[in-house]
């Protein structure tokens, strides 16, 4: 039975829908967590955390380290610039209203698409090759 959760908060989005979902999650997950903590003395079960969007993935107890390393390896293959941009945006949205978070996400998506690494990522995808990130 899954008993551990991992959170990949604020990674880079691959589409408008993912960024908008990140905006909604960034503004709603903390409220849900505070509500659950306020109503219970015990930890939030991993499956519940997953179901309400506090974590993306739940793994069996004892495999947390391997899952975290696998996730870190996937993130390490991404552009450091876009990962940083996405994480910064995610955490800034936490205190925003949903409407403000969507507006802000739109600004961040524009900044992301104007980055050199966006051009490289799109080119690499079209050419079916590994990207060569410049982290800018």
Classify residue 35: in a domain, yes or no.
yes
- 76 domain residue, yes or no: yes
Q: Kindly state whether residue 135 falls inside one of the protein's structural domains.
A: no
Measured between alpha carbons, how far is 58 from 1 in angstroms, rounded to an integer? Answer: 10
Q: Is residue 12 part of a domain?
A: yes
Distances (CA, A) of 71 to 42, 44, 46, 87, 89: 27, 22, 17, 15, 20
Q: Would 109 be classed as within a structural domain? A: yes
User: One digit per residue, pLDDT tens: the chain, 136 residues?
Assistant: 444 444 444 333 333 334 444 545 555 556 565 566 555 567 888 888 888 888 888 999 899 999 999 999 999 999 999 999 988 998 898 888 999 999 999 999 999 999 999 999 999 999 999 999 998 8
How many angstroms separate the CA atoms of 13 and 32, rounded? 23
**Residue 17 domain boundaries:** 2-127
Predicted pLDDT of residue 40:
59
Total tally of structural domains belonging to the chain: 1
Exposure of 129 by Cβ count < 10 A (0-12 exposed, 13-18 middle, 19+ buried)?
exposed
How do 57-60 and 2-6 pair as beta strands? antiparallel
């Amino acid at each position: 039975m899954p008993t551990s959760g991992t959170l990949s908060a604020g990674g880079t989005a691959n589409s408008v829908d993912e960024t908008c979902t990140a905006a909604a999650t960034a503004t709603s997950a903390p409220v849900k967590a505070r509500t659950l903590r306020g109503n219970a003395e015990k930890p939030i079960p991993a499956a519940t955390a997953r179901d309400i969007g506090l974590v993306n993935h739940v793994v069996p107890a004892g495999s947390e380290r391997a899952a975290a390393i696998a996730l870190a390896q996937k993130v390490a293959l991404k552009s450091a610039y876009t990962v940083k941009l996405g994480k910064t945006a995610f955490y800034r949205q936490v205190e925003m209203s949903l409407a403000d978070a969507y507006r802000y996400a739109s600004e961040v998506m524009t900044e992301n698409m104007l980055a050199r690494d966006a051009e490289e990522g799109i080119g690499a995808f079209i050419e079916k090759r590994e990207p060569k990130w410049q982290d800018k």
